[in-house]
Amino acid sequence: MTAGESPALKTMKITVTQEHIEKGDKCSDWSCPIALAINDIDKFWNVSVGDNEIVLNETSYTAPPTVTSFVQRFDGGLTVAPFEFVLAV
């Protein structure tokens, strides 16, 4: 890496399935469908998902708009569907 270059970001493709939705808990940062999906692909010792951020271990990442919308709908008791998103980590 030369001066001025930023480190290459890795990405995680996260798939939230119908099973995650059915097993997920509303208004829970740790057991919502998205947190369950993340733990299915990589076991972090801490996964927390909020409206605007995803925390993996002690690192916070900005949640994509699709995640924000899903969390608000799911927590509000509205119908949600399985979806995928990519998180730069």
Residue 19 pLDDT exceeds 90: yes
pLDDT tens digits along 32-76: 999 999 999 877 889 999 989 999 999 999 999 999 999 999 999
Between residues 87 and 7, which one has the greater pLDDT? Answer: 87
Six-digit token pair at 15?
């798939």
pLDDT, residue 6, reads: 53
pLDDT tier at 4, thresholds 50, 70, 90:
low
Q: Inform me whether the pLDDT recorded for 1 exceeds 50.
A: no
3-state secondary structure 16-54: ECHHHHHHCCCCCCCCCHHHHHHHHHCCCCCEEECCCEE
The dihedral of CA 69, 71, 73, 79: what is its sign?
A: positive
